[in-house]
Amino acid sequence: MADGHDGSPALPATGAVARDLRNSSAARILVVDDEPQIRRFLDIGLRAQGYRVALAATGAAGLAELATQGADLVILDLGLPDRDGHAVLADLRQWTQVPVILLTVRSGEAEKVAALDAGANDYVTKPFGVQELMARVRALLRAHAAQGREPPLFDDGHLRVDLSRREVSVDGVKVALARKEYALLALLVRHAGRVVTQPHLLRELWGPAHQHDTHYLRILLGKLRHKLGDEAAAPRYIATEPGVGLRFIPEADAG
């Protein structure tokens, strides 16, 4: 069952309140974290952005809430008291593709890569800034809502990526990309807002035998950035998550 704002179990919504919740177009965010102060902080921050929020203090309570009430996005802490967050993620991925952002104090790159490859969409390391988290939430909600809308198209007035025509242009001028340069850009655009891990990118672009050849990816990314006018130090389109992977920055979160 979800927590109330004071940490006590929340009562089911009834009557007019229940109708308002069902009719609301605002995304519903489920926060699963055992720290009351984190739950309260996220509850206040997310509601201030117009989201509906459900809270759970354990993995079991979070899974039950998700199964019975649903959610448009889950913010999941890896360090839960009853079950490891990885196990909770594995359970929910058996029956739902809801976007999941992991909260973690664990800084190990290998663990982050494993979690992303296991089905997480993104991660934020504690302590974190609320604006960073909100940007990740917006990006994943947009990307999830856009799934199934083919062909994908990105156009912010400067960069245009039309995957249906396999065309890329900058300021109206077509950019000639090599095959792998285009493949990398297309893969990132299709997963806009989501961290795509280095092993996944290497497997997709060069095959499983090269999933540890990170220098291939580094060289390819440098060439792609140069052609797009993207700066590694202040990326407008392709953000690097050091040691983990790459993330295409959606238009509303650029800059």
pLDDT tens figures, 218-230: 999 999 999 999 9
Query: For 5-21, what is each residue's pLDDT tens digit?
Result: 333 333 333 333 333 33
Three-class SS state of 56: strand
Give the Cα separation of 62 and 29 in Å (integer).
11
Q: What's the confidence (pLDDT) of residue 115?
A: 85
Sign of the torsion angle spanned by Cα atoms 40, 99, 196, 169: negative
- Residue 102's DSSP bridge partners are 76, 123
DSSP class of residue 77?
A: E
Q: What is the mean pLDDT of the chain?
A: 84
Q: What's the confidence (pLDDT) of residue 108?
A: 75
Query: Of 12-16, 99-103, 158-162, where does mean pLDDT reach its minimum?
Result: 12-16
- pLDDT bracket for residue 166 (50, 70, 90): confident
- Which backbone phi and psi does 9 adopt, to 5 degrees? -60, 135
Structure tokens given for 14: 């009834």
Query: For 30-78, what is each residue's pLDDT tens digit?
Result: 999 999 999 999 999 999 999 999 999 999 999 999 998 999 999 999 9
Q: What's the confidence (pLDDT) of residue 168?
A: 95
Query: For 104-141, what is each residue's pLDDT tens digit?
Result: 886 678 878 888 888 899 989 888 888 889 999 998 89
Give the Cα separation of 249 and 158 in Å (integer).
14
Query: For 194-212, what is each residue's pLDDT tens digit?
Result: 889 998 899 889 988 887 8
Q: Where are the beta strands (DSSP E) in 139-198?
A: 153-155, 159-162, 167-170, 173-174, 195-197
Q: In what order do the strands lie in the sheet with 245-248?
A: 195-197, 245-248, 238-241
Domains of the chain, first to last: 15-146 (3.40.50.2300), 153-253 (1.10.10.10)
| Secondary structure (DSSP) of 112-131 | HHHHHHTT--EEEESS--HH
- pTM, two decimals, is 0.66
